[in-house]
A and B are shown apart, each in its own frame.
Chain A
Amino acid sequence: MIFLTIGTHEPFPRLVRAVDAWCAASGHGGDLFGQITDQGAAAYTPGNFKWVGRLTPQEYGDRISRADLIISHAGMGSIITALQLGKPIVVLPRRGHLRETRNDHQYATVQRLGNRPGIFVAEDETRLPVVLDQAVSGLAGAGGIGISRVAEPRLTMAIGRFLAGKPLPEKS
Chain B
Amino acid sequence: MRPTRVLAVASAGGHWVQLMRLAPAWNNLVVSYVSTDPGLRQDLAAEDFRVIVEANRWQKLRLLKQLVQLLLIFITVRPDAVITTGAAPGYFALRLGKLFGARTVWVDSIANAEQMSLSGQQVRKYADLWLTQWEHLSGEGGPAFLGSVI
Nearest opposing residue in chain A for B27, CB measure: A160
Tell me, yes or no, whether B91 is within 8 Å of chain A by CB.
no
Tell me, yes or no, whether A58 is within 8 Å of chain B by CB.
yes
Tell me, yes or no, whether A99 is within 8 Å of chain B by CB.
no
Report if A151-B13 is in contact (Cβ < 8 Å); known contacts: A9-B56, A109-B112, A165-B4.
no
A154 to B146, CA, bound (A): 7
Inter-chain contacts of A168 with B (CB < 8 A): 129
Instruction: Select one of A56, A76, A104 contacting B18, CB under 8 A.
Output: A76
- Report the interface size for chain A: residues with CB under 8 A from the other chain: 41
Interface residues of A in 119-159 (CB under 8 A from B): 147, 149-159
The answer to whether A151 touches B103 (Cβ under 8 A) is no
Inter-chain contacts of B26 with A (CB < 8 A): 160, 163
The answer to whether B103 touches A159 (Cβ under 8 A) is no
Tell me, yes or no, whether B52 is within 8 Å of chain A by CB.
no
Inter-chain contacts of A40 with B (CB < 8 A): none
- Interface size, B (range): 35 or more
Tell me, yes or no, whether A42 is within 8 Å of chain B by CB.
no
A132 to B40, CA, bound (A): 30
The answer to whether A8 touches B13 (Cβ under 8 A) is yes
A interface, by DSSP: helix, strand, loop or mixed? Answer: helix
CB-defined interface of A9-53 with B at 8 Å, one 1/0 digit per residue? 100000000000000000000000000000000000000000000
The answer to whether A164 touches B13 (Cβ under 8 A) is no
Inter-chain contacts of B61 with A (CB < 8 A): none
Tell me, yes or no, whether B94 is within 8 Å of chain A by CB.
no
Report if A162-B129 is in contact (Cβ < 8 Å); known contacts: A7-B13, A80-B14.
yes
The answer to whether B111 touches A105 (Cβ under 8 A) is yes
Instruction: Select one of B17, B80, B146 contacting A155, CB under 8 A.
Output: B146
Instruction: Select one of B18, B43, B111, B117 contacting A57, CB under 8 A.
Output: B43
Tell me, yes or no, whether B148 is within 8 Å of chain A by CB.
yes
The answer to whether A155 touches B42 (Cβ under 8 A) is no
The answer to whether B111 touches A76 (Cβ under 8 A) is yes
Instruction: Select one of A105, A113, A154, A156 contacting B114, CB under 8 A.
Output: A105
A168 to B26, CA, bound (A): 15
Inter-chain contacts of A165 with B (CB < 8 A): 4, 80-81, 103
Instruction: Select one of A57, A76, A102, A149 contacting B14, CB under 8 A.
Output: A76
A149 to B105, CA, bound (A): 21
A104 to B112, CA, bound (A): 10
The answer to whether A164 touches B4 (Cβ under 8 A) is yes
Nearest opposing residue in chain B for A75, CB measure: B14
The answer to whether B39 touches A58 (Cβ under 8 A) is yes
Jot down 7 A-B pairs with beta carbons below 8 A, ordered by A: A8-B37, A57-B37, A77-B18, A152-B150, A160-B25, A160-B29, A168-B129
